[in-house]
Structure 1
């Protein structure tokens, strides 16, 4: 069973494994290879298996270009099946009539918008890399309910994390998700977020919003400098308090732990 067969091409393999890929697109190549060996009694190379897996993914989920073309239909379907859903996208024109180039998209599910009305006045924002044929960044805004559980509020796929993309995202949250005054906006120290949150046009300057930095990032930077795990944990615990009297109590302990860290 160590021999491959030239007629056992990636198309045949893709057709055989597509149901498996539909159930779990992350199925390892070694598992797929075992399936092929057991069924066809031939042993294709792992390279052929990975090419077949890629083809199977295209068969099940469509290719990258088709996925972007389906975006308007998908967003409209979201709005129909999730009443209250809001979305916007930006495209760039081309020289070909009827063709545009995708730039970025924003969406917020209707139930999430409604849920945020009942959440604490706190919104956490962050971004992460997207992996695939076309790179980009996923921006996410998350709320916190009364049980300290996370509530996903809004999303965006953008070309890059910068002042313009973060400003676009934050302004659309103000437009479509919430007009509540006094929301605490929490983020890391990304320069684009700082600039966007400081721009009054985006709706997050005082008194509409109060931009603060994530305590875990602050605590990690603190620990890198001072190498004191006990102080780091106490800093996080102090900043996590939701009542002033409790915050004052733990902050006093933090100061007492080592006065030089309180500056």
Structure 2
């Protein structure tokens, strides 16, 4: 047999040993030679192989081979040492390319189906990361490419808004001079900004976690036009759902995209969002803007607090009450089941969650479902290196 590259030799060796449920030990791996023996060679199995690079033929050739293994062909273990993350990455590469959100459990199932071995969760996770790198470039290289890619976008469309925040780089506890690393980035393309001028005065914001090698949060803002089409208007990648990160996002959103007054901001009740609104110098406060809460998040907070599933629908009905009388009836029903429930609800201004008191300004938008739809479309992108993730948002 002949092979074009040394990598092809090693790949063939691994596939052979995995398929035969045997194993080998490398005795020599040089620039021109690869020599391996069965791990049971000292115990009686004579299997060995020597592959050499033949310069005149420009290929690797098997020069010595001792037949089949004579050792017992029993399963080595539930796993196999040669079934490493690199080998698995090659196998699952088409699956990851088709669906970057492929679950690690699905990787384990695929390996079981292909090789009849059950690999560890960590090995499967590493294999997926390596497959992503092969398809979309390396994780570190992607971070380095992001400013260059945004600069190219800016030259193509000068109205593109991009705002980076960086922080010092440290190696152990020592500051690395002349190097700064990405902390946060906000971006919005001119078509988004222009489209928002023709949308309802509604902005929904939400955060979703990134699942790649480097963690963080993706912040998304969306609106809706008069034809009920969902319009994404801005994005940000930040370190997490912190007050500073939300302030960074909302400040840039207000300065560059949502510049008109009388806008209704709909979000969950996360403390970071509330803190960012409070420190916005009234940019997101009446009368310039009105901060509303998603009724589904209020429902979720209520269930987490009281574990009262039978009251779930009643809490939602209170928010969806169109008339004050209807609101009072539902509110009283909740109160009759326990004052603790209504006391908890009273800590939230009813103008922020009930249709009966919103002055008909929230356009009947009671949830953050619009932004959840965008998050669903971009579900796979959250597993990608950062530049590939940003490109996916442009395509969406």
TM-score interval, smaller chain: 0.7 to 0.9
**SS of structure 1 residue aligned to 2:281:** helix
Q: Map Cα deviations across residues 98-155 of structure 1 (whole Å, 9 max, x no partner).
A: 5211111111233222221111111112223322332222222121332444322211
Question: Does the Cα contact within 8 Å between 2:317 and 2:330 map onto a contact in 1?
Answer: no
Give the number of the structure whose alpha-carbon radius of gyration is greater: 2
Correspondence 1:62 to 2:137: yes
Q: Map Cα deviations across residues 15-53 of structure 1 (whole Å, 9 max, x no partner).
A: 454344323332732224534x4xxxxx56524665444
The aligned counterpart of 1:161 is 241
Correspondence 1:22 to 2:97: yes
Q: Map Cα deviations across residues 82-109 of structure 1 (whole Å, 9 max, x no partner).
A: 6743211111134545521111111123
The aligned counterpart of 1:3 is 21
Question: Does the Cα contact within 8 Å between 1:140 and 1:152 map onto a contact in 2?
Answer: yes
| Greater fraction of residues in helix | 1
1:142 pairs, out of 222, 226, 239, with 222
**SS of structure 2 residue aligned to 1:179:** coil
Question: Does the Cα contact within 8 Å between 1:182 and 1:210 map onto a contact in 2?
Answer: yes
Question: Does the Cα contact within 8 Å between 2:222 and 2:231 map onto a contact in 1?
Answer: yes
Question: Does the Cα contact within 8 Å between 1:124 and 1:142 map onto a contact in 2?
Answer: yes
Measured in 2, the distance between the counterparts of 1:152 and 1:105 equals 16
Note the 1:170-249 alignment, pairs <5 A.
Answer: 170-201=250-281, 203-221=283-301, 227-238=310-321, 247-248=322-323
**SS of structure 2 residue aligned to 1:139:** strand
Q: Answer 1 or 2: higher relative contact order, Cα 8 Å, separation at least 6.
A: 2
Correspondence 1:109 to 2:109: no
The alpha-carbon deviation at position 77 of structure 1 amounts to: 4.1
Aligned length: 247
1:257/1:97 Cα in 2 relative to 1: closer, same or farther (>3 Å)?
Answer: closer
Q: Which runs of 5 or more structure 1 residues have no equivalent in the other structure?
A: 38-42, 239-246
TM-score of the two chains, using structure 1 as the length reference? 0.77
Measured in 1, the distance between the counterparts of 2:127 and 2:268 equals 41
Further displaced range: 141-150 or 74-83? 74-83
Question: Does the Cα contact within 8 Å between 1:120 and 1:143 map onto a contact in 2?
Answer: yes
The aligned counterpart of 1:34 is 113
Question: Does the Cα contact within 8 Å between 1:4 and 1:45 map onto a contact in 2?
Answer: no
Q: Which runs of 5 or more structure 2 residues have no equivalent in the other structure?
A: 1-18, 25-81, 170-174, 336-345, 347-396
The aligned counterpart of 1:40 is none
**SS of structure 1 residue aligned to 2:113:** helix
The aligned counterpart of 1:73 is 148
Question: Does the Cα contact within 8 Å between 2:264 and 2:291 map onto a contact in 1?
Answer: yes
Q: What's the Cα RMSD here?
A: 3.2
Question: Does the Cα contact within 8 Å between 2:262 and 2:289 map onto a contact in 1?
Answer: yes
Correspondence 1:92 to 2:167: yes
2:329 pairs, out of 236, 241, 256, with 256
2:200 pairs, out of 120, 127, 131, with 120
